[in-house]
Structure 1
Amino acid sequence: MAWLTQHQAALAAAFRRLWATPLNTLLSLFAIGIALTLPGFGFVLLDNLRDVGQSVAGVQQISVFMDVAASRKDVAEIESRLKQVSTARVTFVAREDALKRLQKSEGMAEIVASLPKNPLPDAFIIEPANTEPAALEIMKKELATWPKVAHVQLDSAWVKRFDAFLRLGKLALWMLAGLFAAGLVAVTFNTIRLQVVAHAAEIEVARLIGATDAFIRRPFYYYGALQGAFGGLLAAGLVLLALKLLAGPVSELAELYGASFSLGLPGPMHVLALSGAGGFLGWLGAQLSVSLSLTQFD
């Protein structure tokens, strides 16, 4: 109970110190909030981009085009082999059906009518159960070796490039977050140092009456942690505001491309993560500052 009472008293003292200088507290919170806003916004934006990539990619398909000279028997043999070696969903597209679909396309009716014969081959559309890029590449290479198979198409190159871009963006954001975290620790360090200087007489008296270093340090630790946590909440609010402002233009842009997309807003876990990160960095800055500043009283 004594330990809990001491921590409650330290927390109350930290709140009083925050409230005692509202202008300085507000400016510090804005500095911390802005430092956390850019990394927080970047990670939420990356999550939205990942969702866009998954929705655009849709179901991964492999298109197997038969030789134009392939007979019905050859097509039947390939279909039988596909059903035996793969658990994927297989759809057969006859060359006649493909020509009819092409003929219905805008501006293609006259071109198709002028063709002396059907140039399109029979094809199979495969939807593999295992959509890992490596597994799809192996299946593509195997299918290409089958007899009477003219071409195998796998449109996954852009998916790989998009995934590589997301990984690069995530790495860049982590580096940026590290730089801003160092700046946040520096801001807290300076703020706590000023607090220690302002309460120098109080610290001297507390030491004279037997107060331990842990007792003296504790309110400053809570002060730094609270400042960082509130700054994190401010950053979450700024991220939410920015996403709400962007939601309308992004939806309109998606509609122009015939898609339906809305920006995902940060959830409670994102808010807790920003507030927790701010609190931890504030506590770290306070610990470094107090440890260095109290040496002048030794």
Structure 2
Amino acid sequence: MRNWLAQQRAALTHTLVRLGAAPFATVLTVLVIGVALALPVSLYLAVANVARLATHVSHTPEITLFLEDGSDQTQTLARSLRARKDLARVRFVSREEALKGLAGRAGMADVIATLGRNPLPDAFVLTPKATEPTALEALRQALSRLPGVARATLDSAWAQRLAAWLALGRDFVLILAGLFGTALVAVSFNTIRLQVLAQREEIEVSRLLGATDAFVRRPFLYLGTLQGLMGALLAWLLLAAALFFLGERVDALAAAYGATFRLEGLGWHETGLLLALSGALGWLGAWLAATQHLRRL
């Protein structure tokens, strides 16, 4: 066990010396990895923040029944609706109440004053117990066929569209992450390939002295892993700087709408996952490069 730990320590020390001996090449490699990781992670954060914003502004879906003009079915319809077990709340909004609420909005009072009569119909605002889109649409269609109902609308259509866009965004994040993950492996592979070729004579001497392929490969694996970890750390710093820069602008925009909303970055678990995946992909590229070229030496 002590011998194994000593070998690992020696390989890690050798790797750190190699990194310090070529700082410019190390910085360029880490920069390429960091930017490649920052792109899919930034899109992931954008989708996550939009989804969090949607939970703040979303509300219980409501169905609005607009009654036919001059309908005498209002009382009967009200009793029928309140007797339904699939409705949690039934609220009647008279045409006068609707007009008064509309007049209270900015810029609408002058428009309403020019109207000869109240064009708004009586309506029932219903709160269903169901929340599934399919069940809500089926309920809307059933209610629209009730006597005295001119039209029935469901206000959750925007939420369904937003959910569809968010699902598309998550799928795009996965595709982009796969592409840039492959690019990270390719960068690590090429970097380690050059290192193996540069140390070809040193590797041949080590083999003559009895070094195994696992012993020779170990420093390169550490190199690929460290480059991946440093690239992930750089990506985290780039995203933190971007969120800090955009934070004040988002706060000002939210305040203009009378709301409070702050952008959130990566959590501890997400940061740990980013570091682990980046390190693993760097290790994989290094292993592929070292294994392939050691067979040729």
Structure 1 length-normalised TM: 0.86
Structure 1 position 89 matched with structure 2 position 89:
yes
Provide the residue aligned with 1:146 in structure 2: 146
Q: Which residue of 2 aligns with 1:42?
A: 43
Question: Residue deviations 1:124-177, cap 9 Å, x none?
Answer: 322334322222111111211222222211123333332332233333333333
Q: Does the CA-based 8 Å contact 2:91-2:126 persist in structure 1?
A: yes
Q: Is the 8 A contact 2:34 2:231 kept in 1?
A: yes
Q: What does residue 176 of structure 1 align with?
A: 176
Which whole-Å CA distance do the structure 1 matches of 2:202 and 2:232 have between them?
30
Residue of structure 2 in register with 1:265 after alignment: 265
**Against the structure 1 CA distance between its residues 72 and 198, is the aligned structure 2 distance closer, same or farther, given a 3 Å change threshold?**
closer
Contact 1:66–1:75 under 8 Å retained in 2: no
Question: How far does residue 50 in structure 1 lie from its aligned partner after superposition?
Answer: 1.6
Deviation at residue 239 of structure 1 after TM alignment:
0.8
Which residue identity lines up with residue 89 of structure 1 in the other structure?
A: R
**Whole-angstrom distance in 2 between the partners of 1:223 and 1:251:** 42
Letter paired with 2:145? T
Contact 2:34 2:233 in 1 (8 A): yes
Q: Is the 8 A contact 2:81 2:87 kept in 1?
A: no
State the match for 1:22 in structure 2.
23
CA distance in 2, matches of 1:196, 1:148: 82
The range that moved more, 110-119 or 152-161, is 110-119
How far did 1:280 drift? 1.5
Moved more, 56-65 or 282-291: 56-65
Residue in structure 2 matched with residue 53 of structure 1 by the alignment:
54
* SS of residue matched to 2:215: helix
The one-letter code of the counterpart of 1:47 is: A
SS in 1 for 2:19: helix
Match of 2:232 in 1: 232
Pairwise CA distance, 1:121: 3.6
Aligned to 1:73: 75
CA contact (8 A) 1:46 1:170 kept: yes
Inter-CA distance 145–5: structure 2 relative to 1 (3 Å threshold): farther
> Which deviates the most, 127-136 or 32-41?
127-136
Aligned alpha-carbon RMSD (Å):
2.6
Say which SS state the counterpart of residue 88 (structure 1) adopts. Answer: strand
Give the letter aligned to residue 73 of structure 1. Q
Q: Secondary structure at the match of 2:130?
A: coil
Mapped to 1, the partners of 2:108 and 2:200 lie a distance apart of 86
Displacement of 1:111 in angstroms is 6.2
Return the letter of the residue paired with 2:12: L
- Displacement of 1:284 after TM fit? 1.3
CA pair 57-206 structure 1, distance change in 2 beyond 3 A: same
| Alpha carbons 1:140, 1:153 under 8 Å: kept | yes
Give 1:38 shift. 0.9
1:54 to partner: Cα distance: 3.1
- Supply the distance in 2 between the matched residues of 1:112 and 1:234 (Cα, whole angstroms): 58
- Gaps spanning 5+ residues in structure 2: where? none
1:257 shift after superposition: 4.2
Cα pair 1:65 1:151 within 8 Å, conserved: yes
Residue 281 of structure 1 is matched in structure 2 by 281
1:248 maps to 2:248: yes
Amino acid corresponding to residue 43 of structure 1 in structure 2: Y
Is the alpha carbon distance of 1:115 and 1:21 closer, same or farther for their aligned partners in structure 2, counting shifts above 3 Å?
Answer: closer
Contact 1:43 1:173 in 2 (8 A): yes
User: Residue 67 of structure 1: CA displacement?
Assistant: 3.2
SS of match in other structure, 1:263: coil
- Single out whichever of 95-104 and 32-41 deviates more from structure 2: 95-104
Equivalence for 1:160: 160
When residues 57 and 212 of structure 1 are mapped into structure 2, their CA distance, relative to the original with a 3 A threshold, is same
CA contact (8 A) 1:235 1:274 kept: no
2:213 matched residue in structure 1: 213
Aligned residues: 295
Give the alignment of 1:184-203 within 5 angstroms: 184-203=184-203
Q: Deviations over 1:221-273 (max 9, x none)?
A: 12101110111011011011111111122232333444433212222223222
Matched to 1:251, the amino acid is D
